[in-house]
Amino acid sequence: MDTVSTNRAFGGTQGVYKHVSTETGTEMTFSVFVPDHAEGEILPVVWYLSGLTCTHANVTEKGEFRAHCAKHGLIFVAPDTSPRGEGVADDAEGAYDFGLGAGFYVNATEEPFAANYRMQAYVEDELPALIADQFPADMSRQGIMGHSMGGHGALTIGLRNADRFKAVSAFAPIVSPLNCPWGEKALTGYIGADKSAWRQYDACALIEDGARVPDLLVDQGTADDFLEGQLKPELLVEVCKEKDQPLTLRMQEGYDHSYYFISTFMGEHLDWHAARLKA
Amino acid sequence: MDTVSTNRAFGGTQGVYKHVSTETGTEMTFSVFVPDHAEGEILPVVWYLSGLTCTHANVTEKGEFRAHCAKHGLIFVAPDTSPRGEGVADDAEGAYDFGLGAGFYVNATEEPFAANYRMQAYVEDELPALIADQFPADMSRQGIMGHSMGGHGALTIGLRNADRFKAVSAFAPIVSPLNCPWGEKALTGYIGADKSAWRQYDACALIEDGARVPDLLVDQGTADDFLEGQLKPELLVEVCKEKDQPLTLRMQEGYDHSYYFISTFMGEHLDWHAARLKA
């Protein structure tokens, strides 16, 4: 692991790091905020998965998480959203919603994506091992959150690994790739036409199939341009009700899909994570 | 005035606006955050002047001011740092520290800069009149802050207009353009070789010449690469002591010149402004 940069911030260290991933076969960049702590102390870890077009940098610069992580003593990790670099396949037309910046937190099985697009394995296994090795992280206390495509990532990874994540939340998540154009395009491209293989990558389908966590927190802006066509929180409400999965969905009046929305509610999400990670 | 964008954020509205400035002869872009407020209510205004290379966007995205402005009920205005556009003169070699992005908050008298580089008049007079006209602003309660070149702007504008600004603070300001390479280059280029004309644009010289405000707050990182060569807070300490100008200078261990530094202490600066604007 190489250090790209470190900056003192909010009584802690905001770092950006890179390493060669064996899963993606590429150099991957990620950011980690570590609050100051006592010698030998290990801190709970909150994962933040970003949305389409983003890298680690968007939330690192605009997410306004550091004050809250410093207050609660939480490590905050922000991975990239896809493999990148020479030879990595991209959307045929360079669209923003597939390929680079749009890994959807799946392990691709379709060519030419299968070689590099292994973001599920990267985020679920390889990067956590690196974090455990290199940072003062208490891996027995992890939470996961994300935005949009990253909200989908957080919900699905959280639901598939309920033993590992004590807190799961999302900002404007894609709740069902099976039922929206972004999901249709991405999962067809990465996983293929057999939709039964998509269910492990669909929060609603996972809950329908029996996955369960103690509770979920979701914020969704009412002025989000993607609300009706892509995000469809009503599908999550419906399946959570049907399966008795506790869900707190907060419709936030007038908020859109941007980091102005995310940063506004970041503090409350981190309060919610801290309450569960430090219980 | 045209609206470029508005986003709901922290229980208020983050807007970006543009207008044609009669002072600079160019289209100027600026951002304004207005917290929700009662019908007819007017709110105190805090001005934030940005540093070299910046536009309104840097602090708007990375400054982490909105939570604090919302809490205190403060309007936050962030102007650009220079005129821009076709025909606007720039540094002969396109350097970052003169010309575009580097207006230094002066009224240039040297050619070819005199026509457009009127950032003093723009920030001191024209933009305040527009803000007073277009926003629910209580212009009897204004504070001013800034970073680096913008810290220089905040200190000098605040000191020259002590009747108008009830609070003046700065992050890593250039305290004396007369005594640093950035200032030498910029003021020679904009104002000319006669250094007596520079004194109105030099916080230390203004204090030496009798300007005074109730108090000043300055934060400065000890790991700032520009500390010794350009910023030199010791010159401000010295003249403030000599002239009995109250100054709170806080050397912040390990912090650099970036928005990671600014955002960390933004809340405390806004607390300080709120205490003086709402007294």
> Does A10 contact B at CB distance below 8 Å?
yes
ipTM: 0.95
CA distance B49 to B59: 9
> Does A261 contact B at CB distance below 8 Å?
yes
Mutate to test the interface with B, among A5, A8, A66 (most CBs of B within 10 A): A8
Q: B254 vs chain A: nearest CA distance in angstroms?
A: 6
Give per-residue pLDDT as tens, B119-149. 999 999 999 999 999 999 999 999 999 999 9
Is A68 marked active-site? Answer: no
The pLDDT of residue B279 is 85
- Among the listed residues A80, A202, A219, A224, the single catalytic one is A224
- Between chains, do B263 and A62 touch, taking CB under 8 Å as contact? no
Q: A259 vs chain B: nearest CA distance in angstroms?
A: 9
> Does B68 contact A at CB distance below 8 Å?
no
Q: Which residues on chain A are in Cβ contact (under 8 Å) with B8?
A: 221, 223, 253-256, 260-261, 264
The pLDDT of residue B195 is 97
Q: A222 vs chain B: nearest CA distance in angstroms?
A: 11
The pLDDT of residue A279 is 85
Residue numbers of B annotated as active site:
148, 224, 257
> Which of 3.10.20.90, 2.130.10.10, 3.40.50.1820, 2.40.50.140 is the CATH number of B2-278?
3.40.50.1820
**Domain residue ranges in chain A:** 2-278
Q: Which residues of chain B fall below pLDDT 70?
A: none
Name the helix (H) or strand (E) containing B152: helix B149-160
- Between chains, do A260 and B7 touch, taking CB under 8 Å as contact? yes
CB pairs < 8 Å spanning A and B: 62
Q: Which residues of chain A fall below pLDDT 50?
A: none
- Between chains, do B62 and A61 touch, taking CB under 8 Å as contact? yes
CA distance A44 to B229: 41
